Amino acid sequence: MLLIPCPWCGPRDEAEFGYGGQAHVPYPEDPTALTDEEWARYLFFRNNPKGPHPERWCHAAGCRRWFNAVRNTATNEILAVYRVGEPRPVIV
């Protein structure tokens, strides 16, 4: 079980959170101009790193806010959490 630090509520049990996939995937500026392949890449293609990965999480059973977390996919260590609109912290 992970202990995830909500940027509003502090450390909470993983069961209180929903997972929202990779963070910082921008909506296409002009969706109608995309080819089928570009649209498919936007919808379905995600990074799959072994190591730090910026992700969206929602504190579903708590404050119900979405936020971003950088999680090490190999160790499950949460390296940083930050609120929506805040820049992605530099992980060294």
Partner 1 sequence: MAEHIARHSPLGGFAARFAAATRGSGGAVRLAELPYPAQINVRLDPKGPAADAVRLALGIALPVEPNTAVRGGGLAALWLGPDEWLVVGPAGTAGDLESRLRGAVGAYHAAVTDVSAQRSTLLVSGPRSRDLLSHGIALDLHPRSFGAGRCAQTMLARAQVILTARDERGPGFWVLVRSSFAGYLAQWLLDASSEYTAPGYAAQGCSASQ
Give the amino acid at 50.
Answer: K
What is the token pair recorded at 14?
């993983």
Interface of this chain with Zn ion, residues 61 to 90, rule: CB under 5 A = 62-63
Q: How far apart are CA 9 and CA 62, in angstroms?
A: 8
Piece of 20-28, 47-55, 56-64, 68-76 that binds partner 1 (CB under 8 A): 56-64
Q: Which does 61 bind (CB under 5 to 8 A by kind): partner 1, Zn ion, none?
A: partner 1
Piece of 18-26, 30-38, 54-62, 73-81 that binds Zn ion (CB under 5 A): 54-62
Piece of 18-26, 35-43, 57-65, 74-82 that binds partner 1 (CB under 8 A): 57-65
CB atoms under 10 Å from CB of 34, counted, come to 14
The angle formed by the CA atoms of residues 60, 63 and 64, to the nearest 5 degrees, is: 40
E strand residue ranges, the chain: 3-6, 10-13, 18-22, 52-58, 66-72, 78-83
Residues in touch with partner 1 (CB under 8 A): 8-10, 12-13, 15-16, 61-65
Residues in touch with Zn ion (CB under 5 A): 6, 8-9, 59, 62-63
